[in-house]
Amino acid sequence: MFISLRRSTATLAAAGLLVTGLVACGSEDEAVSEPGTSGDKQITVYSGRNEQLIKPLLEKFTAQTGITVNARYANTAQLAAQLVEEGDKSPADVFLAQDAGALGTVSKRDMFVTLPSTTTDKAPATYRARNGHWVGVSARARVLVYNADAVTEAELPASVFELTGPAWKGKVGVAPTNASFQAFVTAITVQHGEARAKEFLAGLKANDPQVRDGNGKILEDVIAGTVPVGLVNHYYLGEVAKEQGTTVDALKAKLHFFPGGDTGGLVNVAGVGVLKRAADNPDAQAFVDYLLGPEAQTYFAEQTFEYPVVEGVTGPAGVPALADLQVPDIDLNDLDALESTVALIKESGLVP
C-alpha cells in the first residue's frame, strides 16, 4: 500500500526545527494502517524521494520479498522535521531521504540504529555515515542545466559563484525549498564558511532568480527556453530523455558539470536509515539491503539515471562516469546543519 503525504510547511524557531501543520497521511477518506510489528512483513517508510521515481522500485521489493511497504511521501526536509517532532512516537521504520544532510539531521537526534558493517561496507566510505547510522544508496551530481540555443559552452561559468554576476541577472532557475539545493547551500558553508554562503544567497536573490518549486519545473522551463539555465541534479535530464523516447545528447538542454572541485559540483547521495523502533525488525534491514543489491542499483542507473554506489554496477548513460567528476572536497557527514541552512535561505528572501 502506498500512502501519499500532503505537503507541510517547515519553519524555524530559535530553539530548532519546528513543523507547523504536520504532514497528514493519505486522503480524507483513506485510513492509515497501524505500524507493523517486527517481522510481520510490512514496514512504514518515510520517503523524501519522489513517488513517481521510487514507487516502482518499492513494488519490486514487495514482489521479491513479500514485505509490504507503507510509503509516506513528502519533501525530505519536511519529513526530517516530522521525524524530529514525532520522536520515539513516530510510526516510521525507515527514512529514505533525498540527501545526506537530512539523514544527518535525524542522526544527530540519535534516532537511527547503527547499521551492520556488512550492509554499510557495500557503499564507499565517502557515501555513508561515519557512525553507521545511514548509508547512501544512489549518488547524484549538482549541475547547471542550460538551453544550448540560449547559452553557448564558452559562456558557461567556471564556478557556481559567478551566477550572482550581472551576466546572469534574471536567467538562473533555482528551487530553494528543494532538499538538494539546501544541501548545496550547506556545502558552501562547510567549504567556505557561513559568511560566503550568506553572500552567495544575497547575491542570488538580488540577481532576480527564477524561483521554482522543484528541479523538474526548472528543467521544463530550460527546455522550453523561458529560463536559460538552472541549478538541478544531473539525473532529471535522463528522465526527460526517457519520457521523450530519445537520448540525453539529442535534447536541447545540456548539462554543465562544474570543474575544479567547485562547490557547484557537489555529489550528494540519496540514502537510508533505520529508526530505533525498528531496531530488531528484519523487514527493515531487508529493505536497506535490497536498496544496495544489484536489482535496485541497476534500477537507479537505468530508470532514475542516478549513479549507483555499489561497485560493479554500470552507471547511467549520457553523463561522465562518477569517478571522472571533479567534486569538491566535502565530507557528506558534515551536511547535517539542515536547520541553520533553512534559516539562511529564509533570511535571504529566496523563500517567503
Known binding residues for Fe cation = 235-236
CB 228 within 8 A of CB 151: yes
Dist CA 5 CA 130 (whole Å): 31
**One-letter identity of residue 50:** N
Dist CA 290 CA 65 (whole Å): 9
Question: Distance from first CA to last CA of the chain, Å, rounded?
Answer: 35
Nearest C-alpha neighbor of 11 from the set 291, 339, 280, 306: 339
Nearest C-alpha neighbor of 5 from the set 24, 31, 32: 24
Binding residues: 235-236
User: What is the grid cell recorded at 333?
Assistant: 557527514
Q: Three-state SS for 65?
A: helix
CB 221 within 8 A of CB 210: yes
**Which residue do the cell numbers 530553539 mark?**
15
